[in-house]
Structure 1
Amino acid sequence: MRLLQRQFSGRITASAIVAAAVWVHTFSELPADWLWYSLWLLVVLGCVVCWRIPASAYVMVPLMAAAITLWWVSAAADQRLAETLPTTDENRVSRVEFEVIGLPQQTPSSLHFTARVRQSKPEGLPSTIQVNWSAATWLGPYSKPVKVDFPTVSPGQVWQSNMLVKTPHGYQNEQGFDYEQYSFSHGVRALGSVRGEPKLLFTLPWWQRSWSVMAQSLRYELRKAMLPYVQSYRYGGVLLALSVGDQNSIQSQDWLVFNRAGLTHLVSISGSHVTLMAVLVATVISWCWRRLRCKRVALAEYWPAQKIAACVALLVAALYCTVAGWGVPAQRTFLMLAVVVGTRLASVSWQPSQTLALAAVLVVCLDPWAVVASGFWLSFGAVIVLLLCYHWQGHAMQPKQGWAAIGSYVLQVSAWQVVISLALFPALGLQFHEISLISPFSNAYAIPLIGMVITPLSLLLMLVAPIEGLSTVAQGVAWLAHALLDLMMRPTEWLCELPAASMAVAWAPWWTYGIAALGMGYAFLPKGLPGRHWGWIGLLPCLLWGRTPIAEGEWRADVLDIGQGGAVLVQTRHHALLFDTGLRLSHQNDVGDRVIVPFLRAKGIASLDWLILSHDDLDHTGGAFSVLQAVPVHKLYASFNIRAYFGREAALLGITSPLSPTTAQHLCQQGVSWQVDGVQFSVVWPDASALRNKDSNARSCVLSIRSAQGKSLLLTGDIGVAQEAALLRQGLEPHDVIVVGHHGSRTSSSVNWVQSMQATWAIAQVGWGNRFGHPHTEVVRRWQRFKSVFIRTDYAGAVRIVTEGSGIQVQCQRQVRARYWQHPSSALQTSCDQTLRESQ
């Protein structure tokens, strides 16, 4: 028993450290200082207990390690929180002198990079900011970006510029991307938008730059040298990603193919790439070292070839990780290699799981926010599965020769690939809400081709491209690498076009992932245990989980946080309706693709029964194309000519219309109603006269939804006071919840309307810091004066409304998932807590 405790105590301690780091990042606010002093007191007491009772060390050491981790991570978070943009400088122009410290990323009309603030007027800017330098060439959301030649910007340069600075603020939707978390974990505490023409002051000499800036400068120079050889190729961006870790060079449509094929881990520098290069270098060095002699004595007699090869391989891995940008997979791999080399040099024998545990601890110590990134769990999870596969095989492979050996190796690798794909399905489904069913097939040929051929060729190109006399060699290497990559992509694209290439995965309760973990643990037990293969059935609950059940006669609505625009998802027991689709931001960027479609997938909604476009304003119809392309829609309602509108938009975007012949198209007008699952849906506006109005806001569809118990929701689009008055004259009844008209503009929400509706909750869908000033202060006070709880999505995030018999429950995402790094605006919305208490 004691031997077993010794064997697993280190791994238990490592698990406690990681768990403690994760726990800190679930806090809504960091605890007071006195709590951390008490933790240190507990650590001291723990040491005393271990001294007096040695057997307690197996319990006390993990607890003390967790306590120290809590203090360390919280202290780091508190230090980063201290760097906050002053409220008085929010959304104001400052004069900033800054040093470029990140690899610049350029689009046709903009330039983005991370910078360190050296001086600012006014003072008080955070030390690290994200700079956005956009050219004044924006011609509208349908125009393709115009290519602009920016001045050369490289790490180590010092610039001076006027900037509009603000604190990072992002959408907050359930299971959605958390931009504020991403910015905070990367140390970015402010965003700066360039105003006017920046001025280059000077370039710092290499010896005056920090180590990290020197690494970014090296990456910049290598990318600059490679660009002439790869920029004309279709997949040139992939070669840059494999060599210098510049994933932004990969085109968006290629990312879709890689995600659908399950090849994302291969086109970003992962642990397998680093390990492969280290092994290749170690093999070459070991072979050479054994043959080198000094005074007729082999050098291997002075220093073993294995140790020399290990040290050189570690150095090569460090250089490769530096060029790759030190992502979490690269950190994990390098630290594991460092531990392996250290144990070899010290002649200590460690198990692979011990090496992995120590690497995880070192990653958390070096970067306390690594655990909030999906790459941490996918990277370490993949290695754990590999170790389990080796254990699961149950016996060593029988030595074979010739084609038999090759065939046996291929079968083993193929079996492992299938097992790894199955084991990672829950994690991938939880993160991306989609799993690739073709990944075992695509990885079967892509892993050896990318790992053993294309990546080494990309690295060779990176080495020869900066040398002037080897331009012909560089051209040949670039051509060969791209030709092989293009050859690999042809069957990959064919596989991705198959209807069953991928499967959408809804967010499932946490207990289903616990069942999956137990099932996989049972399946990975050694051979000989009867029925262990049945353990894979444990994956089914989390992968096949559907929509969250709703009782008959009830409805659930999600007022999405999409910025300045409208989008509301309403669900009943068996049906789903989407009211508006948000804003189109640019030619290739809209809220439908960024927010709505991922949200539908996370909720297990494979099709929409109704899509209602309230009126033809871009902040309400901008995401319709993306929604229609991704999700089948059975009935489409609008207050305008749908086919003509989509025809014009398709011509402007240069694509075909997404309207399906099977989609029924109807005019959204007063009198249209239906009842499903005991819930009544009624269109109360526009009437026949309003449909002839040239003002699109006046034609907005207004939808009333009532549960079997009479609990109601009113979706108002952008109607104004005239339409509100007309609805009151027609006898519109009060509603419990109202999404206020025109985002809280002064042109809506008249006194009579607010008083007559008697709404308990009024919700405004608005963008943070929008230029319209929505919602207007007068409108907010008016709703509050008549006892309505006013909720705005830029403060509260997405709002969920759920009917429960004779009651209604309202939840705000920023308070349901409150975190210490969230934008200060989260504290401004206090009404959601009151709402939750009142509904209980």
Structure 2
Amino acid sequence: MCKSQFALALWLFAGFGAAQLNAGVQAAAHKNMQVPLACNKQQVQSEFKLLEKAFRDDGAQTWLIMHKARQSNTPEQCLKNGAKIQMFVESANRFESLKPGQAFQATLRLKPPKGTLQLEGFDVHRHWFANQIAGTAQLKSDLVILPDHFNFNPLVWLERARLHTAEWIVSSLQNHPEQALVLAMVVGDQGLISAEDRELFNSTGIAHLVAISGLHITLFAMIAGKGMGLLWRRSQRLCLSIPAPLAGSAFGLLFAVLYGLVAGWGVPAQRTVFMLFALFVGQLRGGTQNSWDTFFLALFLTLAFDSWAVLDAGFLLSFGAVGTLIFVTQGHYHFIKPQQEFIANAVKAQYTVTVGLILPCAMLFNQQSLISPVANALSIPWMSFVSTPLALLGGLLQQNWALVLAANSLALQREWLVTFNELSWATLPLQNQPFWINLLVALGCIILIMPQGIVSRWFGLALVALLAWPAPRPAEQDFWLTLMDVAQGTAIAVQTKNHLLIYDAGPAFNDRSNSARRVLLPWMAAHGYNRADLFMLSHDDADHSGGAPLLIEKAPPRQFASSMVESHPLNQLATQKQSEIKPCHSMEKWTWNGVAFQPIGLHTPTRAHNNLWTKNNQSCVLKISNSSHSVLLTGDIEAIAEMHLLAQHGADHLKARVIVVPHHGSKTSSTLPFLQAVRPEIALIQSGWQNQFGHPHSQVIERYESMNVKVHNTAQNGAMKWVFPNSKIDPFATKASEIRQTYWHAHESGAKAP
């Protein structure tokens, strides 16, 4: 027995070591394929191969392409042969004739995998690395499509069929509101699903049904297998060669593989297909197969096929849900025993999955859908037996009537989802918790799904309730300043013990790329805020106010202060949301928890008579201080505004240990007299890495450094949280580039210049 246990431990150790070695080799190989930071914005003309197309709004598409050129003018150090590039293509219908597997020549403008980085939440660098994307690009020329030789790769044929199906769905449901959802259900392309719909699906707990799910693949594999088994039994000769159940299982497995490939071969599809394969292997071997054997074989095959699947949130949710169900069913107990066993098992499964995913949902989404069990009880059978079969029939066989019925059935489902979502208690917000609380919550979840009598479930509930543990807050008279990484723009959060101030809301390039949706609102949810006490918008410029409408809409602040005229649409929106409106230049000083907030009003001449008084020079200026520290928020003020502030208020009112550098470090700001009045020790800059404006300007950086001011820029550090304790002399910072430093980040080693 000891020898057996020793051999098992040895195999486990060897397997772990081999996995680590394999991951290290693959990581090094992909790191070598990435577009270097030095090649940012460089245009290259070369030959590429289209791998796949995904649909986006307004006729745009996202292409995944591979650099495949024997000869090109591309420097080897910028774009290596075989590198995968993600490219956004506007008006993509111009290139409808280009199919997956085809080669083309074009000029691209490269961008390395360097994006914004927050202190917590979604990490785009991780996403790029998990999908082996070496960089992104813009198309800077027309395409020259090269001759399409016959391709023997069946995966290319399948991808072309998938694209053909997607194009047909998009054209057939052109004006239908459920076009995006049907497209996601049939081919797994979620690119047309709006941000608002994603929030709806997440808050009602049915996001797992939006694309092709493991439930759907299993269901239709079983139907296909049973159908083939019935046909197989009609032939005595076939049954004598291969038993009908085995033939049916083989056909169901083949159907599941094809279905999963058409659906885009995501982690849930992989997990389901490999589990069905494991069951088929067990059927070949005969006897009873342990569910854990099936689970771990599927886990092994998933990781063998895609080592980086573990970086996908779907991996944790998918395998976590199935593992939880196996954990319960292997114990052969029922926490309820009504006469209807089918209902009991359904309720038991829903309870188990809901409890098992409480912690992952809290960590990944900062919420728990309380309406999820009811929404799933209605949506799972509806989508499984009505919407999905109709969508597949209509999409794969190009039957317009079935496609329209599928879309209409989803429109009916939307009715009850919207009704559920409007309930005030439908979703429970959950803030981030420290590691030790998450461990206790995990223990509580295990207790809740264990048989009764082992540990009291009241104890399990008490442990799970720790998710409501209050989020950390500054001590009395302390304040924290968090500079979000919104690329070229400003978004700042100021926390005191009982209050929150948001200063600016960053840019919003479109509905999806909105700083409020991507950064500010998730940050507020992660830290336990449902609204700000004051939202101060420095001025109405796109990189400061782009996210303001959504922030006011989703989290109406108690007060909204700005430099804009009273009739401005944002003031009207804030009024509708019952926020108190205040002009920032005439606000009085106030104190929160022993921290002083001093608006420094700028009294300017009539702008009509002086074109120097642009929006930038109307920026709200705010000084925040306790007995040891002071911070000056300056918006986008330029030289003339700096001069007027100095003349109107004097150096004493402007003096601050920390300054958020005016206008992102533009050469039109940070004049020497102004800096001599402020006398900062630390300068904080929010700017985009290698942005088009050249911010911060080298002369400005030299000016700060000549005064021995330490400069910190979000372009290199990512988001930064600065702590200003009232009892200590020096502030200290937490930087995203340090606490989230991993091998898939490109910017630590090459983006150090200001």
When normalised by structure 1's length, the TM-score is: 0.84
Work out whether 1:129 is the aligned partner of 2:85: yes
- 2:220 maps to which of 277, 282, 285: 277
Separation in 2 of the partners of 1:358 and 1:185?
22
Give the match's secondary structure for 1:719: coil
CA contact (8 A) 2:195 2:512 kept: no
Separation in 2 of the partners of 1:590 and 1:644?
20
List per-residue Cα deviations over 1:207-229 (Å, max 9, x = no partner): 2xx45433322211222344444
CA contact (8 A) 2:561 2:583 kept: yes
| Paired letter, 2:619 | S
| Paired letter, 1:718 | D
CA contact (8 A) 1:393 1:526 kept: no
Separation in 2 of the partners of 1:597 and 1:691?
34
User: Which residue matches 2:283?
Assistant: 344
Work out whether 1:100 is the aligned partner of 2:100: no
Work out whether 1:576 is the aligned partner of 2:478: no
User: Which residue matches 2:15?
Assistant: 65
172-181 or 795-804, which moves further after superposition? 172-181
User: Which residue matches 2:32?
Assistant: 82
- Evaluate the alpha carbon distance shift between residue 425 and residue 721 of structure 1 in structure 2; reply closer, same or farther with a 3 A threshold: same
Work out whether 1:261 is the aligned partner of 2:204: yes
User: Which residue matches 1:501?
Assistant: 426
Matches within 5 A, 1:300-379: 300-347=239-286, 349-379=288-318
Work out whether 1:770 is the aligned partner of 2:691: yes
| Paired letter, 2:299 | A
CA contact (8 A) 1:108 1:148 kept: no
User: Which residue matches 1:424?
Assistant: 357
Separation in 2 of the partners of 1:755 and 1:555?
25
Work out whether 1:222 is the aligned partner of 2:178: no
Matches within 5 A, 1:92-491: 92-119=42-69, 120-124=72-76, 125-126=79-80, 127-134=83-90, 151-207=96-152, 210-294=153-237, 299-347=238-286, 349-391=288-330, 394-395=333-334, 405=340, 408-465=341-398, 474-491=399-416
User: Which residue matches 1:757?
Assistant: 678
Give the match's secondary structure for 1:489: helix
Separation in 1 of the partners of 2:365 and 2:335?
36
- 2:524 maps to which of 600, 622, 625: 600
User: Which residue matches 1:687?
Assistant: 603
Give the match's secondary structure for 2:53: coil
| Paired letter, 1:687 | H
- The alpha-carbon deviation at position 77 of structure 1 amounts to 0.4
User: Which residue matches 1:561?
Assistant: 485
- The alpha-carbon deviation at position 283 of structure 1 amounts to 1.7
- Evaluate the alpha carbon distance shift between residue 87 and residue 640 of structure 1 in structure 2; reply closer, same or farther with a 3 A threshold: closer
- 1:744 maps to which of 656, 660, 665: 665
- The alpha-carbon deviation at position 290 of structure 1 amounts to 2.8
Give the match's secondary structure for 2:379: helix
- Evaluate the alpha carbon distance shift between residue 419 and residue 396 of structure 1 in structure 2; reply closer, same or farther with a 3 A threshold: closer
Give the match's secondary structure for 1:616: coil
List per-residue Cα deviations over 1:266-307 (Å, max 9, x = no partner): 11112111111111112222233233223xxxx434322222
| Paired letter, 1:502 | T
Matches within 5 A, 1:813-828: 813-824=736-747, 827-828=750-751
Separation in 2 of the partners of 1:80 and 1:664?
52
User: Which residue matches 2:551?
Assistant: 627
- The alpha-carbon deviation at position 586 of structure 1 amounts to 3.4
- The alpha-carbon deviation at position 762 of structure 1 amounts to 0.9
Separation in 1 of the partners of 2:9 and 2:295?
21
CA contact (8 A) 1:505 1:545 kept: no
- Evaluate the alpha carbon distance shift between residue 530 and residue 198 of structure 1 in structure 2; reply closer, same or farther with a 3 A threshold: closer
Separation in 2 of the partners of 1:770 and 1:284?
59
| Paired letter, 1:427 | P
List per-residue Cα deviations over 1:678-710 (Å, max 9, x = no partner): 101101232365999742222211111112x32
Separation in 1 of the partners of 2:410 and 2:166?
19
Separation in 2 of the partners of 1:671 and 1:446?
51
Separation in 2 of the partners of 1:767 and 1:734?
27
User: Which residue matches 1:617?
Assistant: 541
- The alpha-carbon deviation at position 388 of structure 1 amounts to 3.2
User: Which residue matches 1:140?
Assistant: none
Separation in 2 of the partners of 1:374 and 1:587?
23
RMSD across aligned positions (CA): 2.5
CA contact (8 A) 1:557 1:568 kept: yes
Give the match's secondary structure for 2:585: coil
Work out whether 1:719 is the aligned partner of 2:637: yes
Sequence identity (%): 28
User: Which residue matches 1:19?
Assistant: none
Separation in 2 of the partners of 1:116 and 1:275?
33
| Paired letter, 1:60 | L
- 2:594 maps to which of 678, 691, 701: 678
| Paired letter, 2:659 | I
CA contact (8 A) 2:336 2:344 kept: no
- The alpha-carbon deviation at position 810 of structure 1 amounts to 1.2
Give the match's secondary structure for 1:278: helix
- Evaluate the alpha carbon distance shift between residue 170 and residue 587 of structure 1 in structure 2; reply closer, same or farther with a 3 A threshold: same
List per-residue Cα deviations over 1:715-746 (Å, max 9, x = no partner): 11011223333444512353222110000001
| Paired letter, 1:561 | D
Give the match's secondary structure for 1:361: helix
Separation in 2 of the partners of 1:779 and 1:204?
56
Work out whether 1:792 is the aligned partner of 2:751: no
User: Which residue matches 2:451?
Assistant: 526
CA contact (8 A) 1:393 1:527 kept: no
List per-residue Cα deviations over 1:523-561 (Å, max 9, x = no partner): 22224436235413322112x233312110000010110
Work out whether 1:801 is the aligned partner of 2:751: no
| Paired letter, 1:695 | T
Q: Which stretches in structure 2 are left out of the alignment for 5+ residues?
A: none
- The alpha-carbon deviation at position 195 of structure 1 amounts to 1.1
Give the match's secondary structure for 2:286: coil
CA contact (8 A) 1:261 1:439 kept: yes
| Paired letter, 1:417 | Q
CA contact (8 A) 2:355 2:448 kept: no
CA contact (8 A) 1:134 1:194 kept: no
- Evaluate the alpha carbon distance shift between residue 802 and residue 267 of structure 1 in structure 2; reply closer, same or farther with a 3 A threshold: same
Give the match's secondary structure for 1:165: strand
Work out whether 1:540 is the aligned partner of 2:465: yes
| Paired letter, 2:98 | V
586-595 or 815-824, which moves further after superposition? 586-595
Q: How many residues align?
A: 740
